[in-house]
Chain A
Amino acid sequence: MTSVPARDEELVRAAATGSREAFRELLELHYDRIFRFCFRLTGRREEAEDLTQDICVALPAKLKSFRGRASLTTWLYRVAMNAAHDRRRRAMSRTKAAEGWGEIEMSRLAEETGRAADLDWLRRSMAVLPDDLRDTVALTIDGEMTHAEAAEVLGISEGTVSWRLSEARKRLRAMRQEETGR
């Protein structure tokens, strides 16, 4: 049995010609995924919710700029990525120092789930990565996006994506070694 991911095209086409139903479907179709990606980028649930909202309200207008030559998902991820960057920049300019990746969220989750060690590791891992590596990891980690697609989203070459991932791997290893003292 094959899964055929062919509906985007149909929906975008219909939405572009004004089908509200198609637009609704399209957004619903992608909402959760956008949210999850936003979470991976920010590590904070609230931040991810806000980011997702930004994207949602922008999409009716943005849709027209989607010309169908890239896959819709790739395009959406780029929109999300750019939105995240905007936020990041704004956060930097605030007097309040930007918090590390997901600190609050992780401690909350850790309390709830009692899996403090794992989550703490996740938080520290993401925090140890510089923005570009973190973005790349966030894009590719769930395995839904190929390196080529991630490269397109980030506007870099596929080779750079692979390099960044191996760099991320290296740093995480280094962090682990430091911690375990080996």
Chain B
Amino acid sequence: MTDPLDDLKRAFEDATPEPDGERRRVNLARAQKLFDRAQDSEVEQRRADDRANTWAGIEQGLRHMLNALNSRSVLAAAGVVAAVGLTALLVTSTRNATLRPPLIVADTGVAPESVASPPGEPEAERPAPGLGGEERADAGESGSPAPPTGGVHDARSPAPEHAMPAEGEAPETVVVESDLQPPGPAPVPNRELDFHAPGATADAESFSATVAALERQREALRIQLEGLPERSDDASAVVREGEVRVRADGRVAVAYEAEAAPPRPAAVAAPLPPPVEGELARGFVSAWTVSGADPVVRLPTGACATCDSQAPRAPNTEAFANEDASPVKVTSEEPVSTFSIDVDTASYSVLRSSLTNGYLPVPESVRIEELINYFPYGYPAPGERGTPFRPTVSVSETPWNPDTLLMHIGIQGRQPATDDRPPLNLVFLVDTSGSMDVPNKLPLLVQSFRLMVGQLDPADEVAIVAYAGSAGRVLDPTLAGERGAILSALDRLHAGGSTAGAAGIQLAYRVARDMAAEGEVTRVILATDGDFNVGISDPDELEGFIARQREGGVYLSVLGFGRGNLDDATMQALAQNGNGQAAYIDTLAEAQKVLVDQLVGTLFPIADDVKIQVEFNPASVAEYRLIGYETRALRREDFNNDRVDAGEIGAGHSVTAIYEVTPVGSPAVLHDALRYAGRPADPPVADGRRGGSRELAFLRLRYKEPGEESSELIELPITRDAGGADAEQRFAAAIAGFGQLLRDGVYTGDWTWSDAIALAVANAGDDRFGYRREAVTLMRLAESLAVAE
């Protein structure tokens, strides 16, 4: 008998629907709005704190109290069917005449046991509507209009943590009560500090009256509070606040005004009733917004009392492909280094997206070879005929270590004359799932493709297939000359709708195969934010499918958009298996680079399965280390095995690999000689010269002409006399150093960000497209962020 849990798992896989795209979009937008508002308030908060530090402890105290309150025993429900997730509110006064932004301390009421809920049904235990007025006796003094309905919710009533205002029945005022004592020493002063909740009104006149009243009140409150001793502990701080009324009987009451029409975007950080569209602020914003000052919503930290234990991370949907940095190898033990070339650039764009958003990238997201290969280098190009690319090697001093050398291998692909390139068949396979409905995803994608279509020759053909959302064939193969038809098909793409896991990828390849013809280049361009629900759900099966399609001569490029659930690892895997490359498009400028400036290189492979093998000479090189390419390592024997897949070079592409090598006898040698190992046959000489051989290493390159089965071999010795570094190599070294600083900086010693920046600036070259200048900007940003951390 099979394991029923396994059966269950399979059944779930079949039965679990995808989230509705439209609701996903709405939910995300709503959450974002709430977040933004909370942030705006945060800024205000900080400003307020700066102005009056003595107030700083107060909210902290309140937060503590909130934690105590924030339990099932805290109930917020008005007499009507509603309660809200706001458990406390705090008004502070200001020192000067102007209104100071009030602090509103809001807790969502959701932590740790609850989350916002939809309208609930009134429960028997709850106070009946109308009872609410009683607790609001304190609100009358300033003459502020009393809300017509109010509520008191007794903390003892066993209702859910909170319920939501029912549609159309949002409570005017909610008073939250709790039996809980604030933490800290008990003698709670038997003193009730009042504040007044002006009633809801959008009327301008009563509005300003309310403001004036509120201001007077605050001043009074301030005086009252100043009369109190300095905050000595959390409990007293809470009491001092006055926003939370601590009554003689020890019960704590928190007043909360629910239904004011905020004159400004109100700070909201509380769960919202789902159905009240367009009234997001309602029921959660206090009347203090009437004062014209921005309210501040503070959220208690640590509200989640039980979520702090250590736990291993669960798998994440945004995963980066990487390996630990290649270690330093001892030449005598492992003289051969083998890897596949890599023309991907996604890691650089991801890095840029992180830095420009103000945070350092996670080290694992940095693949140094992709940073280096992002930039075009002016390596000498191969001739018109013969080998499609040309290697250039140089050896120079390592910028971050005077005792080692950088061995630089640059490969320049031939740039074919663009006017006689073969016709292209492109199938755009576009993810239109709901998550793509963000400006930097589908709209950017459409713009990017528009740019690209402008670059195509009239004889090229384009087809468009969408998957997830509006699935299916959007545009039948169409000559690029009919630009209008293609552009309007692009414009028809829209994200959302229910996600149908249509057989997008199979369809795309089928279309591609139909388009393919002798002497043409056919490529599927998959554009996605990481939703690889392309019709084959098993990743291995997907890779296998793509690898089989590769045999059919169809190439695959993967363009990543947005950072929502970007699945970098899968992108990489698919592009590698599909004889293609992965790029990440974060800006239109990047689209310009990948799809316009480097269109030919992006789309036309000139060599397939390009592998590099370097054999180091133990007589001259004691240790070596390949910088980057960790995910591209090949086994030594794979080099000569033509069945083992490797990277492609596109027309005009350049690929750079850098080794840091430690000459024999250098003080930088990290490994001690082994006591029991045999002495090297040739005793090392200080400068690595030996027997007239100045060879450091021997370079072997294998590649296949596109579509060929067997590989060609190029061999080249690398000597100490190989050309020194010029600006191109030095810039690459600066980027290599930059990448290492981002990753760990183990080998870069005391070399700093500034050193990297200086090196990059000095070697920016003519930088026709401005890529290098942009890199310098990013390096500066990284430096500042690193210092700030």
A contacts, CB < 8 Å to B? 1-10, 13-15, 18-25, 27-33, 35-36, 39-40, 45, 48-67, 69-75, 78-80, 82-83, 85-87, 89-90, 93-94, 105-106, 109, 113, 115, 118-119, 121-122, 125-126, 137, 141-146, 148-149, 152, 155, 165, 168-169, 172-173, 176
CB neighbours of A72 from chain B (8 A) = 313
**B5–chain A nearest beta-carbon distance, Å:** 5
The segment from B304-312, B416-424, B520-528 that touches chain A is: B304-312
**Contact, CB under 8 Å: B317 / A1:** no
Question: Would A119 and B11 be within 8 Å (CB), given that A3-B320, A65-B300, A169-B4 are in contact?
Answer: yes
**Contact, CB under 8 Å: A67 / B302:** yes
Among B4, B39, B299, the residue within 8 A (CB) of A65 is: B299
**Contact, CB under 8 Å: A19 / B309:** no
The residue on B at minimum CB distance from A51 is B115
Q: How far is the CA of A121 from the CA of B302 in the complex (A)?
A: 42
**A106–chain B nearest beta-carbon distance, Å:** 7
Among A5, A49, A65, A145, the residue within 8 A (CB) of B111 is: A65
Question: Would A137 and B8 be within 8 Å (CB), given that A1-B323, A49-B20, A65-B112 are in contact?
Answer: yes
Q: What 3 A-B pairs are tightest by C-beta distance, nearest first?
A: A28-B564, A83-B115, A5-B316
- Interface of A, secondary structure class, is helix
**Contact, CB under 8 Å: A94 / B12:** no
CB neighbours of A144 from chain B (8 A) = 314-315
Q: How far is the CA of A113 from the CA of B500 in the complex (A)?
A: 13
CB neighbours of A79 from chain B (8 A) = 110-112, 115
**Contact, CB under 8 Å: A60 / B38:** yes
Q: How far is the CA of A64 from the CA of B11 in the complex (A)?
A: 37
B379: interface (CB < 8 Å): no
CB neighbours of B120 from chain A (8 A) = 90
B483: interface (CB < 8 Å): no
CB neighbours of A74 from chain B (8 A) = 307, 311, 314
**Contact, CB under 8 Å: B121 / A93:** yes
The residue on A at minimum CB distance from B28 is A27
The segment from B241-249, B357-365, B776-784 that touches chain A is: B357-365
B15: interface (CB < 8 Å): yes
Offer 30 A-B interface pairs, CB within 8 angstroms, sorted by A. A1-B631, A4-B362, A6-B316, A6-B362, A7-B320, A10-B361, A14-B357, A14-B359, A18-B43, A23-B31, A28-B438, A31-B24, A45-B20, A57-B27, A60-B38, A62-B108, A62-B110, A62-B111, A73-B313, A73-B316, A74-B314, A83-B115, A90-B117, A105-B17, A119-B15, A121-B11, A122-B15, A146-B312, A169-B4, A176-B4
Q: Which of B4, B18, B354, B361 has the most CB of A within 10 A?
A: B4
B3: interface (CB < 8 Å): yes
Among B121, B270, B563, B572, the residue within 8 A (CB) of A61 is: B270
**B84–chain A nearest beta-carbon distance, Å:** 12
Sample of 19 further A-B pairs with CB below 8 A, known A31-B19, A64-B303: A3-B320, A10-B360, A14-B359, A20-B36, A21-B357, A27-B32, A28-B438, A28-B564, A49-B20, A57-B34, A65-B111, A71-B314, A75-B304, A78-B304, A79-B110, A79-B115, A82-B110, A90-B121, A122-B8
**Contact, CB under 8 Å: B5 / A137:** yes
**Contact, CB under 8 Å: B304 / A67:** yes
Q: How far is the CA of A12 from the CA of B280 in the complex (A)?
A: 24
Q: How far is the CA of A67 from the CA of B33 in the complex (A)?
A: 22
Question: Would A39 and B160 be within 8 Å (CB), given that A25-B564, A57-B31, A61-B34 are in contact?
Answer: no
Among A2, A29, A49, A90, the residue within 8 A (CB) of B321 is: A2
**Contact, CB under 8 Å: B28 / A86:** no
Question: Would A3 and B115 be within 8 Å (CB), given that A10-B359, A73-B313, A125-B4 are in contact?
Answer: no
Which residues, 395 to 436 on B, are CB-close (under 8 Å) to A?
Answer: 435
B106: interface (CB < 8 Å): yes
Among A35, A54, A106, the residue within 8 A (CB) of B274 is: A54
B650: interface (CB < 8 Å): no
**Contact, CB under 8 Å: B39 / A49:** no
**Contact, CB under 8 Å: B35 / A64:** no
**Contact, CB under 8 Å: B1 / A173:** yes
Question: Would A93 and B123 be within 8 Å (CB), given that A7-B320, A141-B9 are in contact?
Answer: yes
**Contact, CB under 8 Å: A141 / B5:** yes
**Contact, CB under 8 Å: A24 / B312:** no
Q: Which of B8, B112, B319, B362 has the most CB of A within 10 A?
A: B8
B476: interface (CB < 8 Å): no
**B364–chain A nearest beta-carbon distance, Å:** 4
**Contact, CB under 8 Å: A83 / B322:** no
**Contact, CB under 8 Å: B569 / A7:** no
Interface mask (B92-111 → A, CB under 8 Å = 1, otherwise 0): 00000000000000111011
CB neighbours of B442 from chain A (8 A) = none
**Contact, CB under 8 Å: B115 / A2:** no
**Contact, CB under 8 Å: A1 / B569:** yes
**Contact, CB under 8 Å: A71 / B312:** yes
CB neighbours of B359 from chain A (8 A) = 10, 13-14, 19, 22
Question: Would A56 and B31 be within 8 Å (CB), given that A28-B435, A83-B115, A169-B4 are in contact?
Answer: yes
**B635–chain A nearest beta-carbon distance, Å:** 14
The residue on A at minimum CB distance from B323 is A2
B272: interface (CB < 8 Å): yes
CB neighbours of A143 from chain B (8 A) = 9
**Contact, CB under 8 Å: B316 / A29:** yes
Q: Which of A15, A61, A74, A137 has the most CB of B within 10 A?
A: A61
The residue on A at minimum CB distance from B322 is A4
Which residues, 342 to 375 on B, are CB-close (under 8 Å) to A?
Answer: 354, 357-365
Question: Would A55 and B12 be within 8 Å (CB), given that A70-B311, A90-B121, A93-B121 are in contact?
Answer: no
B573: interface (CB < 8 Å): yes
